[in-house]
Amino acid sequence: MKVKILILALSIVTLAGCGNDESPLGDTTGNSGPTALHVNGNICVTSRANDTRWEPNDRIGIYMLARETVEQNNKLYTTTDGSGKFTATEAEAIYLPTDGSRRNFVAYYPYTENLGDNGRTYTIDITDQSSQSAIDLLGSDNPETDKNTPSVRFTFYHKLAKIELNITSGTGFDDSSVLEGLTVELTGQQTSATYDVIDGNEIAIVTETPRTVDLLVTNKGTKAEAIILPSDNFDEMSLKFKLKGGRHFIWLVQSAFATRFEAGKKYKFNVTLNKTEIDVTSEIVDWISGNGTGDSGEAE
């Protein structure tokens, strides 16, 4: 079941071009000229690419369709100040038909110019985790409107899954400074996929030999995260922790509440590294939580 993650409100106004005054609610003045699409993005439910808010210069791509025919292709809209108000340059702006006929819209995040030969295939590669927002793919539904009904609303969905770790030092270590320089790996991962930004279905994973993904470790080793592809199960998956002194720990990925990584879900684990073992508990957080109210595991 899809769960709504993010809502964008879009409004359409008549531009003041050709010497006409602006009509904020569409073509209410009898003007038969073009009506442009203005985008105002309001995050109504938590969890966006960087979890809870738009960032300055976040960019989305928007398509306008007449039934299944693409009329406006991958138009770039940007929120320059991160407020959620998206604008386009004159060259990128979308205009609605002057005859009042209705059109559908779809959108995706983050914007890219490279959408394959067909202009609609988004290529996913999660091997580089250094920028989480750059790989947090969102796809929208396809609302419709015309120039006389000036509001449409996008609902975006996370297309990938996320794992997030809170890490502490435990028995046998003097303090948390032992975590500085920590590296964390997640084994058994597929790392490539494609996504059709117009049909908005599930991603298509390119099946290859499973690889190891290096998590993004921050806060002096106390936080680690990765955005990953959905999976059928947890087979052959483990988290590997290595301290800068060479000591390492391995935990086989498991959960009492989940059997796989699902699109749109976040899996949060609380990890305690003891000198002789690792303790892990899990809990639900803001994407769609992926592993229930929490479970635990330990490994040496």
Helix (H) or strand (E) holding 9: strand 6-13
Tokens of 233: 């199960």
Judged on CB neighbours under 10 Å (0-12, 13-18, 19+), 158 is buried
Domain boundaries, the chain: 35-158, 161-286
The CATH number assigned to the domain with range 35-158 reads: 2.60.40.2620
Full-model pTM: 0.82
Q: Pick from 186, 129, 149, 154: which is nearest to 77 by CA?
A: 154
Three-state secondary structure call for residue 217: strand
Topology match between the domains 35-158 and 161-286 = yes
| Tens-digit pLDDT profile for residues 190-244 | 999 999 999 999 999 999 999 999 999 999 999 999 999 999 999 999 999 999 9
Structural element, H or E, at residue 134:
helix 132-135
Rounded to an integer, what distance in angstroms lies between the CA atom of residue 94 and that of residue 136?
Answer: 25
Name the 3-class secondary structure at 219: helix
Q: What is the pLDDT of residues 116-158, one digit of tens each?
A: 999 999 999 999 999 999 999 999 888 888 888 766 777 788 9
Which 3-state string (H, E, C) describes 198-215?
A: CCCCCCEECCCCCEEEEC
Residue 272 tokens, joined: 């305690």
Topology of domain 161-286, per CATH?
Immunoglobulin-like (2.60.40)
Torsion on CA atoms 163, 166, 172, 173, rounded to nearest 10: 120
Beta partners for 108? Answer: 61, 139
Give the Cα separation of 154 and 9 in Å (integer): 6
